A and B are shown apart, each in its own frame.
Chain A
Amino acid sequence: MLSILLVAFLLDVALGSVHIPLKEVIKVLFTSDSGNDTWVYIIEKIRLPKALTAIIVGCGLSVSGLQMQTLFRNPLAGPSVLGITAGASLGVALVMLSAGSITSLYTIKELGISGSWLIIVASSLGAALIMILIVSISSSLKDNVIVLIVGVMIGNITLSVISIWQYFSSPELIKDYLLWTFGSLGGVTGGQLGILAIVVFAGLLISFLSSKLLDALLLGDNYARSMGLTVKRARILIIGSTSILAGGITAFCGPIGFIGIAVPHLARALFNTSNHRILIPACCLIGTVLMLICDIVAQLPGSQTVLPINVITALVGSPVVIWIIAGPTKLRGF
């Protein structure tokens, strides 16, 4: 698996609209020195950050999906289930669709859609707002199923607010917003990459430290409580780290679907375990590989076009999951 990861990483850096020989790529990666300055620039400033973003996104979304599936004991749960990504989208919609604000339009035009700090701050605030709402509501609820339903409903409300906003906005603005919802790994560079890495690392650390809590929750609330788990505190911890992961990633890369739902199933099936101390690193590994492969496919090797990543994750990933879960091996994860 690790070697597949290495190959995928190399291929992701090597392939792109500008052809760079593999040998040169490796040379640049290890010595940051090559005969061709353009190649060095392309690799160091564009491809490497993009591949690193893919890794971070793959880890973060997979682990947050795993946490949601365990917390709610529902195989269809994912990072978006609590409405946190919807909250991030609301933040972005707020900035992009409020056409009155000239500054926002200017920054977007200047810096590109996904690369703008304004967008990142707005969507972080949106995600944080929904997260605070969910955590405060959930601290008074006893049953995790009710928390799940409340989360889905809040997500729906948020999305419909966005739809109303879109309905009254001009087509150009809607197009900008739609482009953002396609997701992009390419917009995160330099300092942003550092911040995203810190945010996601913090989220992953919290979720790894709560892997024992997650194990207990596999048996449901009542059993977990009988084994000495304070369910409400565990729930807040898990929802908190999921929000940090999903919210942070959505803020920087836009909503990226599918990975969060699919990878936990792949991890359970391939590693054949229910132990979260193993599943969390497994999700990171598989999520990373899948994300890198999706990014390679998105660049349509050999062509000049780049497809939106959000389209590819589902297009590539869904058949993989169907094959693994329903195929001849029948490795059932849930």
Chain B
Amino acid sequence: MAAQTSLLHTSGLTIGYQAGKGKTKVIAGPLDLELHAGQLICLLGPNGCGKSTLLRTIAGLQHPLNGEIILDGAALKKLKPAQVARKISLVLTDNVRSGNLDVYSLISLGRYPYSGWLGILTEQDKLIIEQAIRATHTAAFLGRKMDSLSDGECQKVMLARAMAQDTPLIILDEPTAHLDLPSRIQLMRLLHQLAKETNKAILLSTHELDLALQVADQIWLMSNGGHLDAGLPEELVLNGSFQQAFDKDGIAFDAASGTFNIHYTGKRNIKVTGEGIAAFWTKKALVRNGFNISLSDENELSVSVSGEGPDSLWTIQQNNKTTIYTSLREFLDTL
């Protein structure tokens, strides 16, 4: 991939905003980033670390405080808005549900940078719109008004509009916010697929760490204070960047499972024996209810889980007394 020329790269990029006259507030930088065609890049980071500012700066909506952004061989600041519009398309968090827009009109607005004075669409334009609709599976919504769409449908339509703009780079600012889990997975899978099939570069910010770890070719991990680590998802997990970026009281990134765990400080010790799914979820429930799971035999309390699914049994040894429960709730209630 090193031999391939980058679609976009930044050198010494410092982002931030004007804070009053002559003063600037630096959010992050200097950043040297690189972005290649066909890549899906996830920008991760805690709230308020400057993800949106970085995306807006790369998209040309906001000026960098310092440094250069090179887009397809040309300096971004020297390009006219109309030229940038043919290179970068956006999906933002802005509300678009007004103005009586129907889905098809909205998607066809993607052809804006290519159409003439009055914005009349050519056959070629309509063909590209068709393709965008097919690629994003939005054909079913076409006749509807934007304000009748669910959040997930709306994001897909906005993605279709960006596809219709037919740019080598698509930038999405938190496309998975407000979506339920299935829609989030669906959207991420779609983006991954699009990056591979169309050879577009897709850059998105998200809070979905586990999804990002699964689909991203690259992860840009931003932490509070403006530090940014770029690399393969697995690299960042292994070198401890994840733990650092999201380190907060009571939360820990578990490199073994790739998930975030909430630290509970348990008050009582319990020994859990048993294998399989039932034992796994029993441990989770116990931790949540304030227990420390330990393996030592000195505990006055121990439970062995046997069976699978609805036939699971919980056998509890407490002060040499044995009780058997058939449901997890019953078992937890007595404890």
| CA distance in complex: A261, B198 (Å) | 45
| CA distance in complex: A272, B86 (Å) | 30
Q: Known contacts A216-B109, A274-B105: does B96 contact A226 (CB below 8 Å)?
A: no
Binds B, one of A79-87, A92-100, A227-235: A227-235
Q: Known contacts A227-B113, A228-B112: does B81 contact A218 (CB below 8 Å)?
A: no
Report yes or no: A219 in contact with B109, Cβ–Cβ below 8 A. Answer: yes
| CA distance in complex: A277, B119 (Å) | 9
Report yes or no: A226 in contact with B106, Cβ–Cβ below 8 A. Answer: no
Report yes or no: B90 in contact with A228, Cβ–Cβ below 8 A. Answer: no
Q: Known contacts A212-B118, A230-B81: does B96 contact A223 (CB below 8 Å)?
A: yes
Q: Known contacts A212-B117, A230-B81: does B86 contact A274 (CB below 8 Å)?
A: no
| CA distance in complex: A272, B94 (Å) | 23
Is B176 an interface residue when CB atoms closer than 8 A count as contact? no
Is A220 an interface residue when CB atoms closer than 8 A count as contact? yes
The interface size bin for chain A is 20 to 34
Within 8 A of B (CB), among A35-70: 70
Is A34 an interface residue when CB atoms closer than 8 A count as contact? no
Is A333 an interface residue when CB atoms closer than 8 A count as contact? yes
Interface string of B60-73 (1 = CB under 8 A from A): 11000000000000
| CA distance in complex: A29, B164 (Å) | 52
**Considering only CB atoms, which chain B residue lies closest to A226 in the complex?**
B90
CB distance from A143 to the nearest CB of B (A): 12
Q: What would 14 more interface pairs be, CB under 8 Å, given A75-B98, A277-B118, A277-B119? A: A212-B117, A218-B101, A218-B109, A220-B96, A222-B61, A225-B81, A228-B80, A228-B81, A228-B83, A229-B81, A273-B100, A274-B99, A274-B101, A333-B100
Report yes or no: A211 in contact with B119, Cβ–Cβ below 8 A. Answer: yes
**Considering only CB atoms, which chain A residue lies closest to B145 in the complex?**
A332
Report yes or no: B105 in contact with A228, Cβ–Cβ below 8 A. Answer: no
Is A334 an interface residue when CB atoms closer than 8 A count as contact? yes
**Considering only CB atoms, which chain A residue lies closest to B112 in the complex?**
A227
Most chain B beta-carbon contacts within 10 A, residue among A73, A226, A274: A226
Is A144 an interface residue when CB atoms closer than 8 A count as contact? no
The interface size bin for chain B is 20 to 34
Which residues of chain B have C-beta atoms less than 8 A from A215's C-beta? 109, 112, 119
CB distance from A221 to the nearest CB of B (A): 8
Is B32 an interface residue when CB atoms closer than 8 A count as contact? no
Report yes or no: B113 in contact with A70, Cβ–Cβ below 8 A. Answer: no
A228: contacting residue among B86, B92, B117, B118, CB under 8 A: B86
| CA distance in complex: A226, B59 (Å) | 8
CB distance from B97 to the nearest CB of A (A): 10
Interface string of B105-135 (1 = CB under 8 A from A): 1100110110101111000000000000000
User: A residues bordering B, Cβ < 8 Å?
Assistant: 70, 73, 75, 209, 211-212, 215-216, 218-220, 222-223, 225-230, 268, 272-275, 277, 332-334
Report yes or no: A219 in contact with B94, Cβ–Cβ below 8 A. Answer: yes
- Nearest 8 interchain pairs by C-beta: A228-B85, A212-B119, A228-B82, A218-B99, A227-B112, A226-B90, A228-B113, A268-B100
CB distance from B63 to the nearest CB of A (A): 11
Which residues of chain B have C-beta atoms less than 8 A from A219's C-beta? 94, 96, 101, 106, 109
**Considering only CB atoms, which chain A residue lies closest to B98 in the complex?**
A73
Which residues of chain B have C-beta atoms less than 8 A from A226's C-beta? 59-61, 84-85, 88-90, 92
| CA distance in complex: A181, B261 (Å) | 69
Q: Known contacts A226-B61, A228-B86: does B98 contact A218 (CB below 8 Å)?
A: yes
Most chain A beta-carbon contacts within 10 A, residue among B100, B110, B113, B165: B100
**Considering only CB atoms, which chain A residue lies closest to B165 in the complex?**
A227
Within 8 A of A (CB), among B13-60: 59-60
CB distance from B116 to the nearest CB of A (A): 8
CB distance from A26 to the nearest CB of B (A): 37
Can you spell out 25 A-B residue pairs with CB atoms less than 8 angstroms apart? Answer: A70-B99, A209-B117, A211-B118, A212-B115, A212-B117, A216-B109, A220-B94, A220-B95, A222-B61, A222-B92, A223-B96, A225-B61, A225-B81, A226-B60, A226-B90, A227-B112, A227-B113, A228-B81, A228-B83, A228-B85, A229-B112, A273-B102, A274-B99, A274-B100, A332-B100
Report yes or no: B100 in contact with A223, Cβ–Cβ below 8 A. Answer: no
| CA distance in complex: A219, B99 (Å) | 8
Which residues of chain A have C-beta atoms less than 8 A from B120's C-beta? 277
**Considering only CB atoms, which chain B residue lies closest to A230 in the complex?**
B81
Report yes or no: B99 in contact with A73, Cβ–Cβ below 8 A. Answer: yes
**Considering only CB atoms, which chain A residue lies closest to B99 in the complex?**
A218
Report yes or no: A212 in contact with B99, Cβ–Cβ below 8 A. Answer: no
| CA distance in complex: A333, B105 (Å) | 15
Report yes or no: A274 in contact with B102, Cβ–Cβ below 8 A. Answer: yes
| CA distance in complex: A220, B81 (Å) | 16
**Considering only CB atoms, which chain B residue lies closest to A212 in the complex?**
B119
| CA distance in complex: A148, B112 (Å) | 26
Report yes or no: B105 in contact with A275, Cβ–Cβ below 8 A. Answer: yes
| CA distance in complex: A220, B102 (Å) | 16
| CA distance in complex: A272, B119 (Å) | 19
Report yes or no: B100 in contact with A212, Cβ–Cβ below 8 A. Answer: no
Which residues of chain B have C-beta atoms less than 8 A from A272's C-beta? 100
| CA distance in complex: A230, B106 (Å) | 19
| CA distance in complex: A204, B20 (Å) | 40
Which residues of chain A have C-beta atoms less than 8 A from B82's C-beta? 228
| CA distance in complex: A228, B165 (Å) | 11
